[in-house]
Amino acid sequence: MDCLFCKFAGGEIPVEFIHESENIFAIKDINPQAPTHILIIPKRHFANAPELAKNEGATLSEIFMAAKEIALENGVESFRTVFNTGADAGQTVFHAHLHLLGGRKFAWPPG
Ligand code: 5GP
Ligand code: ZN
């Protein structure tokens, strides 16, 4: 399967992991939308967050716990977490990933 995040997970394309466990890894977003913009990604391939939840709920939980930890490591106490699911929601990489965004004020509702 031609999946960018599977290639990151498997080391086929090198990228700096800022956090890693048996099940997940985290990288800086290449096109940051906030001073802190990190992607937290399951190592195994699931097309989106609901698929991850259905098949590997413990990993979804681990992703959110890692988000809090990584935010605090970056001096961020107030943060936004986003899973885009589907192209109309802005998903462009169809391997589940949580966006962790912080370091600025965010508007609501989102655009
Ligand atoms: P999505 O649009 O699917 O919710 O999020 C995909 C994210 O992956 C985008 O924020 C995009 O900037 C990021 N991204 C795409 N290609 C790369 C890459 O090669 N390296 C890194 N670090 N991030 C990437
Ligand atoms: Zn994948």
Q: Which of 31, 38, 80, 98 to mutate to test the pocket of ligand 1 (most atoms within 8 A of CB)?
A: 31
- Write down the pTM of the prediction: 0.98
List all residues whose CB is within 6 A of at least one atom of ligand 1.
4, 27-31, 39, 84, 90-93
Task: Look at ligand 1, atom 20, and give the residue with the nearest C-alpha.
Answer: 30
Integer-rounded Cα radius of gyration of the chain: 13
Q: What is the pLDDT of residues 59-76, one digit of tens each?
A: 999 999 999 999 999 999
Report pLDDT for 111. Answer: 77
pLDDT tier at 1, thresholds 50, 70, 90? confident
pLDDT at 5: 98
Average pLDDT of every residue of the chain: 97
**DSSP state, 14?**
-
Whether 48 has a pLDDT exceeding 80, the answer reads yes
Q: Is the dihedral of CA 34, 101, 88, 44 positive or negative?
A: positive
